[in-house]
Structure 1
Amino acid sequence: MFHTLRRPDVLVVTLAAAGILMVTMGVRQSFGLFVSPLNSATGMGVATVSLALAIGQLSWGAIQPVAGALADRYGVRVVLVVGLAVLAVGCALTPFVDDGFGLAVSLGLLASMGSGIGSFSVLIGAAAQRLPADARGAASGVINAGGSFGQFVFAPLLQKLIQSIGWMGAMWAMAVAALAALPLVGRLTAPGAATAAAPAAGSEQRLGPAVRAALKDRSYLLLHAGFFTCGFHIAFLVTHLPGEVDLCGLPAGVASTSLAIIGLANVFGSLFAGAWVGRYRSKHVLALMYGSRALLIAWYLLMPPTAWTFYLFAAGLGFTWLATVPPTAAIVGKLFGTRYLATLFGLTLLSHQIGGFLGAWLGGLALSAFGDFTWMWYADMALALAAALLNLPIREARVQPLQTHAA
């Protein structure tokens, strides 16, 4: 199913994009590990720290269509270099802040926007425009797996760094990691790195009219609604899973291990998702993923609060964690072509992160008001079921099997 990636030029583009996403997502998805250390060191309060991270969820999404539009117009290289630099600056400044406003600027705006610039919309859009059509599905799965592998690597590593050199040192280590990813930008954007894809029919349409037409499309809006739920779910968990582990009386290592398991499981989930979009309609893949999350949450709530419960829950959720990205991007590409994929997929990611803002923020408010996350779990389960149903009416043609060509 990944034979289309065997060409060296195609493989270079795919792995370079995956490597950049490994760093930007690995850093961003580990921010929840810093909630308790930041609160202990500064006395800001969990709700204040959660608000800063919720702002980060929103700004990560808000920058995606902007970054995508800039990349579509001015090129990918300069956009990615700026993104990695801003991510590094945001992480480096965080140890010097001591109030909620400063944290909202450093982590909530700078680090999160830098991570967003170097994330899905720009990377998958850049790859799609550089790869042949029959390689895009598998490539999107591999690129997405890179982000999940970053979570698998960064979560336990940063937890060890927090315990050994302190949370400030761990923040500075993330800044160094962001700068270390800069050489990959050159590999992704090198002239002749891969065969450019032929423009889709109608790609001469200008960006503004293309966006306005997309926002009037019912299928595109249903896709946004489902992706909103995905953001709510992921942001709530990545921000507050360490707090849930603490409420269950388990050591902090259970949280970092669970986040790592989520990342590792999603490597496989992303690869499968990349293959599935070439075999099945993406809307059915998404409905199955969202429905499975509701069942997993129900199972988790019925199980005893042990470390193995968290590990099994993490493995189940991890398989679909961000594996929703390849089928979502595939639907956008099918509906509107690849010319403005970075922008239009960026807008779906904005919807994702509006959900993410609410998931991170409301989780902190729920903990402050009720002392636990019970009502958040119920809301998460209901939204997952709604997302599964909302994807079914999306307009998507049946998948046609790829034709084999004689040598």
Structure 2
Amino acid sequence: MALLRATKWFPWLVLLCGCLVLSLNLGVRQSLGLFIPDMLNDTGWTAATFGLAFAIQNLMWGISAPIAGALADRFGTTRTLIGGSILYGLGLYMMGTSSTPGELHLTAGFLIGTGVGATSFPVILAAISRVFSPERRSFALGLASAGGSVGQFVMAPTAQALNGSLGYVATLGILAAISMLIVPAAFALTGKAEGNSPTATPDLGPQGLAAAFHEARKHRGFLLLNAGFFVCGFHIAVIATHLPTFTELCGLPRSVAAEGLALVGLFNIFGTLTAGWAGGKWRKKNGLSFIYGMRALVIIVFIFSPKTSETILLFSASMGALWLSTVPLTSGLIAQVFGPRYMATLFGIVMLSHQVGAFFGAWMGGIVYDLTGNFDAVWWTSVGLGIFAALVHMPIDDKELRTAKAA
């Protein structure tokens, strides 16, 4: 492996394997909402029961992300990914066999959430950021984020087709087996936080993890990034969890939801690539304000549009272009300000805020639907949060921290 690291193409191998892990991670995770209508019919449980399960999943994703980031920084990326993939696969298999709401909350909630968090963006993007120079880092992070969407584009229609022919129990077992492909890819994602990294910030100094965390929490921009990423998580959880139920509520075929989620993945590829490219040329915080403002506008147009198959698909494509385009800009901004050494931990903390937002998005959707029979309040809440996030990124100080202190 040391010989491989010395080769000029090793960063591209890391990028390729990182894309594969994120494709499996996100592709399987974003397809889980497709099973809710069938599980609702078979179990007789309420939408709030499933909303809470997915809310717990998102919360555990957020809690485990900084822990996994710290473990990756301390003990290495490969071990962290292997442990996370085992939890992910176990949770997927057991989700299909859950016979009580408590079991559903344990499997679909705790196990899957922890597994997803340990194999997601903070760990992968930190490994990638360590092997790319600052000049190429933003674009590489965009490629990795876009690569994750390939999985969603492929897995959503695949999961729907398998569910239609085999049922959700067998399909979740197949998805559990597919998720274990993370293990071989993990062996290319080696490394941990090192002060002598060739791509590290030159003047970082002998900074420890505790000092890095203390430094970040006092930085106003870091707190504002947390606030903005909370909104991102809320938006994504509402759509990924409740779009299948919403399309059925509109009297549309289930295939429309699967096609919509696939379009989210497809257009997210272009959105994240564009965001990664733009983040290398213009200020990342301005790009984030633009993305959140556009989300609010798209949702407003959707609210007042007739709910046809074409409208659902157009909405999905539009939101897909804005879906994970926040990730290369947010992670890139953290690496830009604080350096890449402890990016896994710091971005993991921001990811926790993202998943707290996702917790409320998933749970609120289920509660609102049970109480009102529609999702109107959730859509308007999403609009307000989008406007808030567009505004909150504007005052972020995005200067590299050591340079800012020396000025």
RMSD over equivalenced CA pairs, Å: 1.6
1:402 corresponds to: none
Runs of 5+ unmatched residues, structure 1:
1-5, 399-407
- Alpha-carbon distance in structure 1 between the residues aligned to 2:288 and 2:312: 24
What are the equivalent positions in structure 2 for 1:191-230 lying under 5 Å apart? 197-200=198-201, 201-230=203-232
What is the TM-score when the length of structure 2 is the normalising length? Answer: 0.93
**334, 337, 346: which one aligns with 1:335:** 337
- Alpha-carbon distance in structure 2 between the residues aligned to 1:206 and 1:348: 19
* 1:52 Cα deviation after fit: 0.5
Is 2:139 aligned against 1:138?
yes
- Alpha-carbon distance in structure 1 between the residues aligned to 2:92 and 2:250: 30
Secondary structure (helix, strand or coil) at the match of 1:187 reads coil
- Alpha-carbon distance in structure 1 between the residues aligned to 2:368 and 2:214: 37
Once the two structures are superposed, residues 314-360 of structure 1 have per-residue CA deviations (whole angstroms, 9 ceiling, x without a partner) of 11110010110000001111221111000000000000000000000
- Alpha-carbon distance in structure 1 between the residues aligned to 2:336 and 2:321: 24
Give 2:98's aligned amino acid. Answer: V
Is 2:51 aligned against 1:47?
no
Give 1:287's aligned amino acid. Answer: S
- Alpha-carbon distance in structure 2 between the residues aligned to 1:286 and 1:164: 41
* 1:196 Cα deviation after fit: 5.0
Give 1:75's aligned amino acid. Answer: G
* 1:9 Cα deviation after fit: 1.9
- Alpha-carbon distance in structure 1 between the residues aligned to 2:214 and 2:51: 34
Is 2:96 aligned against 1:95?
yes
Once the two structures are superposed, residues 1-34 of structure 1 have per-residue CA deviations (whole angstroms, 9 ceiling, x without a partner) of xxxxx95222111111010000011111111111
Give 2:171's aligned amino acid. Answer: A
What are the equivalent positions in structure 2 for 1:232-243 lying under 5 Å apart? 232-243=234-245
What are the equivalent positions in structure 2 for 1:1-400 lying under 5 Å apart? 8-189=9-190, 197-200=198-201, 201-397=203-399
- Alpha-carbon distance in structure 1 between the residues aligned to 2:22 and 2:206: 29
- Alpha-carbon distance in structure 1 between the residues aligned to 2:332 and 2:206: 20
- Alpha-carbon distance in structure 1 between the residues aligned to 2:19 and 2:138: 14
- Alpha-carbon distance in structure 2 between the residues aligned to 1:196 and 1:86: 31
- Alpha-carbon distance in structure 1 between the residues aligned to 2:95 and 2:347: 30
- Alpha-carbon distance in structure 1 between the residues aligned to 2:205 and 2:161: 49
Once the two structures are superposed, residues 83-111 of structure 1 have per-residue CA deviations (whole angstroms, 9 ceiling, x without a partner) of 11111111111122111111111110111
Question: In the alignment, is the contact (CA less than 8 A) between 2:337 and 2:399 conserved in 1?
Answer: no
2:405 corresponds to: none
Secondary structure (helix, strand or coil) at the match of 1:338 reads coil
Give 1:93's aligned amino acid. Answer: M
* 1:202 Cα deviation after fit: 2.3
2:403 corresponds to: none
Count of residues in correspondence between the two structures: 390
Runs of 5+ unmatched residues, structure 2:
1-6, 401-407
Give 2:204's aligned amino acid. Answer: G
CA gap of 1:35–1:9, structure 2 versus 1, over 3 A, is: same
1:404 corresponds to: none
- Alpha-carbon distance in structure 2 between the residues aligned to 1:265 and 1:197: 34
Q: Which moved more, 1:169-178 or 1:7-16?
A: 7-16
Query: Which ranges of 4 or more aligned residues in structure 1 deviate by more than 3 Å?
Result: 195-198
What is the TM-score when the length of structure 1 is the normalising length? Answer: 0.93
- Alpha-carbon distance in structure 2 between the residues aligned to 1:41 and 1:196: 53
